[in-house]
Amino acid sequence: MTSFRYERFATDGAARLGRLHTAHGAIDTPAFMPVGTAATVKAMQPESVAATGAQIVLGNTYHLMLRPGAERIDRLGGLHRFMNWSGPILTDSGGFQVMSLAKLRKLDENGVTFQSHHDGSSHHLSPERSMEIQRLLGADITMAFDECTPFPATPAQAADSMRLSMRWAVRSKAAFVERPGHGLFGIVQGGIYSDLRAESARALIDIGFDGYAVGGLAVGEGQEAMFATLDATVPLLPEDRPRYLMGVGRPSDIVGAVLRGIDMFDCVMPTRSGRTAQAFTRRGTVNLRNARHQDDPRPLEEGCACPACRSYSRAYLHHLIRSEEILGPMLLTWHNIQAYQDLMRDLRAAIGAGRVAAFAAEAAAREALGDI
Ligand SMILES: CNc1nc2c(CC[C@H]3O[C@@H](OC)[C@@H]4OC(C)(C)O[C@@H]43)c3nc(N)[nH]c(=O)c3cc2[nH]1
């Protein structure tokens, strides 16, 4: 049986080239994890997700506990079987979504009680229940149950919130059922305050986790404050464990975070944007609803291997969007996930070649050109 382990092959500054081994396969890092909130990467079949080069997808405790229910997915063979994804799955622990989606929430030391945003039914999440749900789902990577500190927060608010998450981290670790190839990640909190981030990192290292996520970011603080918080946090994390920056981000966010030592990312942007006619290209984002595309025979992006760029023109993609045809969001979602996987592939190659800083500068220059 595979043991859960992280291999590091090369470093380039703070950036790392590595591989994470799990029960359902390996993940080359730095990696981007497509978001599959309700057991599907929206508008894509699993075969298509795999064809982009993605090796791991995200699921979520909050969404799946409400519908169809964790026990039901377990009875049906677990999340891998249910969604027909044979690769690794990481599930978020649910705290973030409760605070952003649920109604009538009551948070106390034990956990959070809330009403479903679907039907108003009452539910409870605690570190113990979150670990049980993620085990029932069969997640290869389980996230500790935490509170994502809202932004902005005063130092006192951020300290209280972080220390609650650290007490919940102890309970998450105690409730986590060790299985070969399955790992548990702790989540660093502390807002934008370096001293609180250091306290949180130390607390998690003392508990001991298989990986360390940086939470509480990509919540409106802006890129500069996010990078400053990473500068204060990532160097404190163990070098022999993967680092996961939650909810990030745009391509420039990802490049800057890789340069600061982050290995794993998730973000709804490529999938959500694919459904709103926004395409990610090396020359920035392109809005395919714009009439300037209606006679353009060129592919969306030269050299992209996705079906949208291989077989269709910008004029056709524009037509599908204007006609509100389902194929539009399908093709643009595939392209965006492909674009993110290509960025990660290029970043991994640049780190391996010791030229990641030059690559970052080239990528920023290309993006600044804007679409033609
Ligand atoms: C967008 N900015 C952002 N997202 C964050 C997340 C959630 C990440 C989850 O939310 C979705 O991205 C919006 C993804 O799809 C599912 C599958 C629902 O899970 C992913 C966080 N999660 C936890 N547990 N703790 C955090 O401090 C935290 C911080 C975040 N900042």
Instruction: Determine if the pTM surpasses 0.95.
Output: yes
Q: Say how far apart CA 127 and CA 169 lie, in whole Å.
A: 8
ipTM above 0.90, yes or no: yes
Residue type (1 letter), 349:
A
Question: Is 244 in a helix, a strand, or coil?
Answer: strand
Question: Distance from the CA of 290 to the center of ligand 1, in angstroms?
Answer: 31
Radius of gyration of the chain (CA): 20
Q: Tell me, what's the pLDDT at 117? A: 87
Instruction: Choose the catalytic residue: 92, 140, 263, 342.
Output: 92
What is the 3-class SS of 133-178, one letter each residue?
Answer: HHHHHCCCEEECCCCCCCCCCCHHHHHHHHHHHHHHHHHHHHHCCC
Pocket test residue of 63, 79, 83, 92 for ligand 1, highest count of atoms within 8 A of CB: 92
Question: Distance from the CA of 312 to the center of ligand 1, in angstroms?
Answer: 34
Percent of the chain with pLDDT over 90: 95
Backbone angles phi, psi at 246, to 5 degrees: -80, 130
Residues, the chain, total? 372
Q: What is the mean pLDDT of residues 27-46?
A: 98
Looking at the predicted structure, is the pLDDT value of residue 20 above 80? Answer: yes
Residue 35 is classified by DSSP as B
- pLDDT band (50, 70, 90) for residue 98: confident
pLDDT tens string 216-261: 999 999 999 999 999 999 999 999 999 999 999 999 999 999 999 9
266 catalytically annotated? yes
Backbone angles phi, psi at 162, to 5 degrees: -60, -45
Residue 219 is classified by DSSP as S
Residue nearest to atom 2 of ligand 1 (CA): 247
Q: Say how far apart CA 23 and CA 141 lie, in whole Å.
A: 10
Pocket test residue of 79, 93, 96 for ligand 1, highest count of atoms within 8 A of CB: 96
pLDDT tens string 132-147: 999 999 999 999 999 9
pLDDT tens string 330-351: 999 999 999 999 999 999 999 9
Q: Are 285 and 343 in contact (CB under 8 A)?
A: no
Q: Are 237 and 243 in contact (CB under 8 A)?
A: yes
Q: Are 106 and 79 in contact (CB under 8 A)?
A: no
Percent of the chain with pLDDT over 70: 100
The vertex-187 CA angle with 21 and 151, nearest 5°, equals 140
**Alpha-carbon distances of 356 from 56, 243, 256, 362, rounded to whole Å:** 23, 18, 10, 10
Q: Tell me, what's the pLDDT at 1? A: 66
